[in-house]
């Protein structure tokens, strides 16, 4: 089954409103200049305060916009949090859920990921569910156990129909911000296993679900990674902060 490649840029805690606006407008222009870009999907994930500004700047272009996190409650005494409906009101389409940095620094668990995922799907946001192992977990031979636990915990109580829009991002945590990148064989192995877990739980959903690779993706390795049969896109970190680099990665999805 043909799956539309999806390149997403996670800006993390970077880029001012002016910088983000300039980048997304430049990226939109680059995509518009090449009709082949319609074969792929693109999105950027700015900081929370910039989501509406960047969504407005990207309006009418091929570039979608998403938030980096959300809370599972719609309203209440949750200082500093943002609800799914608030995100949708900004014009955003996507949301990251369970990013490794949220798990590492902010106490995210498979249970809270599950609640966030349900909240996102409840308002029609397209969720990118992040899963991946740390270096000690990989070295201990626990890759499959970790991925299976994260996937089953995140999707508990959800049906294949509810998960129809789900995107999964595989993040080898040991390859984020370290300059290390999983080999194409390692990436494919993990992606194929993730798809097998989805197939065991949800059957045919596995054939259409897109799995992004998210570990130090750069312009010089994007094409090779995207050439793997189960790698359907990329969740890009640092390289998404520079227009030329990010545009080159996006082009690798359709060139």
Say whether 171 is catalytic: yes
Q: What is the CA radius of gyration of the chain?
A: 17
Tally Cβ neighbours within 10 Å of residue 88. 17
In whole angstroms, what is the distance from residue 59 CA to residue 64 CA? 8
- Given 71, 99, 133, 191, which residue is catalytic? 99
Say whether 101 is catalytic: no
Angle of the 143-154 helix axis to the 110-123 helix axis, nearest 10: 40
Q: Which residue has the tokens 């500004």?
A: 53
Q: Which of 6, 1, 4 is nearest to 169 (CA)?
A: 6
In whole angstroms, what is the distance from residue 255 CA to residue 248 CA? 10
- Could you list the active site residues? 99, 171
């Amino acid at each position: 089954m043909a799956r539309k490649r999806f390149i997403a840029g996670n800006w993390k805690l970077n880029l001012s409103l002016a910088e983000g606006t300039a980048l997304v407008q430049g990226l939109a222009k680059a995509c518009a200049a090449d009709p082949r870009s319609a074969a792929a999907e693109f999105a950027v994930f700015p900081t929370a305060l910039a989501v509406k500004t960047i969504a407005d700047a990207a309006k009418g272009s091929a570039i979608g916009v998403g938030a980096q996190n959300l809370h599972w409650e719609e309203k209440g005494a949750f200082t500093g949090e943002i609800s799914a409906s608030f995100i949708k009101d900004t014009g955003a389409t996507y949301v990251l859920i369970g990013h490794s940095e949220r798990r590492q620094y902010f106490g995210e668990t498979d249970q809270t990921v599950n609640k966030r995922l349900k909240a996102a799907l409840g308002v029609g946001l397209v969720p990118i569910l992040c899963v991946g192992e740390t270096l000690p977990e990989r070295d201990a031979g626990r890759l499959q156990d970790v991925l299976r636990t994260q996937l089953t915990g995140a999707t508990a109580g959800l049906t294949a129909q509810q998960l129809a829009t789900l995107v999964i991002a595989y993040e080898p945590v040991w390859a984020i911000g370290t300059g290390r990148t999983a080999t194409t064989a390692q990436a494919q192995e993990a992606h194929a296993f993730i798809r097998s877990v989805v197939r065991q739980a949800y059957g045919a959903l596995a054939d259409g679900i897109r799995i992004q690779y998210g570990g130090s993706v750069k312009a010089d390795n994007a094409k090779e990674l995207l050439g793997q049969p189960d790698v359907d896109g990329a969740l890009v970190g640092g390289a998404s902060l520079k227009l030329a680099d990010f545009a080159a990665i996006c082009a690798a999805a359709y060139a």
